[in-house]
Amino acid sequence: MNFDPMKIPWSLLGLFIVFCIGMFIRGFVPKITARVGKRIGIRIYQPWFDYVKNFSIQTSITHGYMFYLGPVFRLTGGIGMVLFMPLIHGSWYFSNFAFAGDMVLFLYLMFFGTLGMALGAGESGHPYSAIGVARGLAQVTVAEIPLVLAMLAVAAQHHTLSISQIVAAQQGGIAHWTMVTNPVATATGMLALLGSMMNSPFNVVLAPQEIPIGPPTEYHGTFLGILTTNRSIFPMAKIIFFMNIFFGGATNWAILILKGWLIYMWPVIVGVVFPRFRVDQSIRWFLKVPLLLGILAVALV
């Protein structure tokens, strides 16, 4: 990997753009779910108000070092995913710090934040946090199995673990996309995506009706602000990753926003149609069709 210091400001700009898209979508998706429920719904810029409000909270309490580090780890996972992923194919400015084995790092960082959060929320001593994290980890782990199988299938198909090379191999029209050349892996990946996007049926982890708020129960003010920053960056990073792996990547920001939006709508539509699973139900679900599809995807390559 050739390191060029000039890439730092460009990567940060890319990160900021991804954050803004994430903030917009966080206002847009509740609007859609509200319209489905025949409500008017929140203002589309409401997440920005909440964001500033969280950072304007004057007092805060702590439960120890790990309580501080929980949100930091979470945000590190989200930012790390964006910084090591090529956002725009063929662009020097927005290729970030992509390198030969970035897919492995990406899969690692996807889990990293959840683990950090588990330690932080565990130190808060709140039983709801501990239950929420246990449920979250169980669900993410089981959703990760089909996802990794799908990634292995794609990596074996293109003989590389580099996201940039996988995107490059898909250029030249829709017929070259992994979606067409490897539909089984794409189907597995898209089913696995449902498990980590915090939409129904897999949002029991954060559901206020089940366990009040879940892992971030004790987090407030600036801590919550950092967590919401990550909630804008992390899902967008996953969406862009899926776009790169399965849907041919993007050659400019307009394509990225369009494809990203369409992929984001997949868990949202599933979410407004299907009711919530309990954790044991979602674990069983992931170990049935997505897992079998994943094994099939690896076997077929």
- Note the residues at the interface with another protein (CB under 8 A): 30, 34, 37-43, 46, 49-50, 52-53, 56-61, 128, 208, 212-213, 216-221, 224
Burial of 93 (0-12, 13-18, 19+ CB in 10 A): middle
Encoding tokens for residue 33? 């779910």
Which one, 2 or 59, has the nearer CB to another protein? 59
User: In whole angstroms, how close is the CB of 264 to another protein at the nearest point?
Assistant: 21
| Amino acid letter, residue 175 | A
Which one, 9 or 212, has the nearer CB to another protein? 212
User: In whole angstroms, how close is the CB of 36 to another protein at the nearest point?
Assistant: 11
Which one, 39 or 278, has the nearer CB to another protein? 39
Which one, 43 or 284, has the nearer CB to another protein? 43
Burial of 245 (0-12, 13-18, 19+ CB in 10 A): buried
User: In whole angstroms, how close is the CB of 60 to another protein at the nearest point?
Assistant: 6
Encoding tokens for residue 190? 């898209």
User: In whole angstroms, how close is the CB of 130 to another protein at the nearest point?
Assistant: 14
User: In whole angstroms, how close is the CB of 282 to another protein at the nearest point?
Assistant: 21
Which one, 11 or 230, has the nearer CB to another protein? 230
Sign of the dihedral defined by the CA atoms of residues 20, 83, 173, 247, in that order: negative
Q: With CA atoms as reference, report the closest residue to 147 among 238, 45, 65, 257.
A: 238
| Amino acid letter, residue 112 | F
Q: How many other CB atoms are found less than 10 A from the CB of residue 86? A: 26
